[in-house]
Amino acid sequence: MRLEPRPAPGLPILLALPVGAILVTVVIASLLVLAAGASPLAVFGLVLKGAAGTQFALLETLTRATPLIFTGLAVAVAFRAKLWNIGAEAQLYAGAVATVVLGTGALPFPAPVLIPLLIIAAVMAGALLLLGPAILKTRFGVDEVVTTLLLNFIMLLFVSMLLEGVLKDPMGLGWPQSQKLIAEARLPRIITGKRLHYGFVLAIVSAVVVWIIMKKTALGYEMRAVGHNPTAARFAGIPVNLVLLKTAILSGGLAALAGFSEVAGLKGNLTLDLSPGFGYSGIVVAMLAMLNPLGVVAAAIFVAGIFVGADAMSRTAGVPSYIANVMVATALLTMVTAIMLTRFKVRWR
């Protein structure tokens, strides 16, 4: 078997890619559903209904999509410059910690002042956390895949330490959880009584801003140039290391917004299960979107829909909701394969 490069594919093929990947995913997941002794048609019907069948389901999917949009954008931005940030999970928690530290009464300001301050603090915390690995990479050539991945575990243990120590809620009956945010620090709900909050709006705005940065600004151009060919970029006078550091700030900041929005919009406090792997799912989302910031929104809603739909389905059909993990993982693999197939022709000897 050998791979041969192909000319650049047109837009229709690019759009067909994720659709094809999803179809293949459904076929593969069907086999598993059959193995679990249920009818694939019924199961997928239930998943679809659970994800978008009712107003409640749809709002739930969008709520779940919110952190995924942020982490997906973080990964898309970094991967574009070939800065392999696998640490969106840790940056998410950094944002959440900053939100809790400053949002539980330390800053007695009204909401219109406090919320922007919390956003800035969260972004700075996430950016700082990714700056470390980025500096190690640019100064000493340390592989950022290793450092960012391992920081995820360090961060989780650090949060655990905080929640057992200085950040522990004295009224929490001994549970490792932080105090609740003060009311001024909370993001309002979009529809009263429903869980969807203004974090979702912030996510959409972020996606548009990132799209503009990548497409229209000098910084986005520099990031793409550095990602495609750092040697040529350096020769042409682009400060490659500086661009990588700016990328790290942008990427880490975006991931941290996921933590801010989950705490301030949804949970109200910080616990160790704030993120069921949103940072890692962000990689899937970014790949499904082919690193396009607007595509990230669609991909995040799709991935969120599978998780939310599978939860609902497992309650009625008795197929374990793990099927959602399998589907998301399969979607990633088929998508990566599909991307490869558009760039290369496979020839069997």
Partner 1 sequence: MTSAHAPVLRLASITKRFGPLTANDSISFDLAAGEVIALLGENGAGKTTLMNILFGHYVADEGTVEVFGTALPPGDPRAALDAGVGMVHQHFTLADNMTVLENIALGTESPWRLSFDRRRATARIRALATDFGLEVDPAATIAALTVGERQRVEILKALYRDARILILDEPTAVLTPIETEALFATLRKLVAKGLSIIFISHKLNEVLAISDRVLVLRSGKLSGERRTAGATRQELAALMVGQEVNPPAVPEVARGPVLLKLYGVSTGRNGTRQRLDDVSLKLIGGEITGLAGVSGNGQAALADLIAGLEKPVAGTVEIADQTVDDWSPRTALSAGIARIPEDRHAVGTIGDMSVAENVVIEQYRSPSFSKRGFLDWKAARSFAEELIRDYDVKCPSPEARIRLLSGGNMQKLILGRALDPDPSVILANQPTRGLDVGAISYVHGRLLAARQRGAAILLISEDLEEIMALSDRIIVMSKGRLSVPSARGERSVRDIAELMAGHG
Binding residues (CB under 8 A) for partner 1: these are: 4, 7-8, 216-219, 221, 224-225, 228-229, 231-239, 347, 349
Identify which of residues 165 and 237 has a Cβ nearer to partner 1 in the complex.
Answer: 237
Nearest approach, Cβ of 83 to partner 1 (angstroms)?
A: 17
**What span, in angstroms and rounded, lies between the C-alpha atoms of 181 and 106?**
10
Q: What's the closest the beta carbon of residue 60 comes to partner 1, in angstroms?
A: 38
Residue 161 or 232: which CB sits closer to partner 1? 232
Shortest separation between residue 255's beta carbon and partner 1, angstroms = 23
337, two tokens: 């394969």
Nearer to partner 1, 182 or 336 (CB): 336
Residues 103, 113: contact at Cβ < 8 Å? Answer: no
Give the shortest CB-225-to-partner 1 separation in angstroms.
6
Backbone angles phi, psi at 141, to 5 degrees: 70, 25
Compute the least distance from the CB of residue 238 to partner 1, in Å.
Answer: 7
Q: Which is nearer to partner 1, 139 or 349 (CB)?
A: 349
CA distances 174 to 91, 161, 165, 167, 168, Å, are 26, 14, 11, 12, 8
Beta carbons within 10 angstroms of residue 194's beta carbon: 14
CB-based contact 247:83 (threshold 8 Å): yes
Q: Between the CA atoms of 248, 62, 93 and 175, what dihedral angle is there, to the nearest 10 degrees?
A: 180
To partner 1, the closest distance from the beta carbon of 244 in angstroms equals: 16
Work out the angle at residue 290's Cα, subtended by the Cα atoms of residues 294 and 323, and round it to the nearest 5 degrees: 95
79 vs 200, beta carbon nearer partner 1: 79
Q: Which tokens go with 88?
A: 């969106």
Q: Which residues pair with 162 in a beta bridge?
A: none
Residue 283's nearest CA partner among 260, 299, 306 is 299
Question: How many other CB atoms are there within 10 angstroms of residue 34's CB atom?
Answer: 12
Q: Which residue, 64 or 224, is less far from partner 1 as judged by CB?
A: 224
Using the minimum distance from each CB to partner 1, give the nearer residue, 139 or 273. 139
Closest distance of CB 336 from partner 1, Å = 18
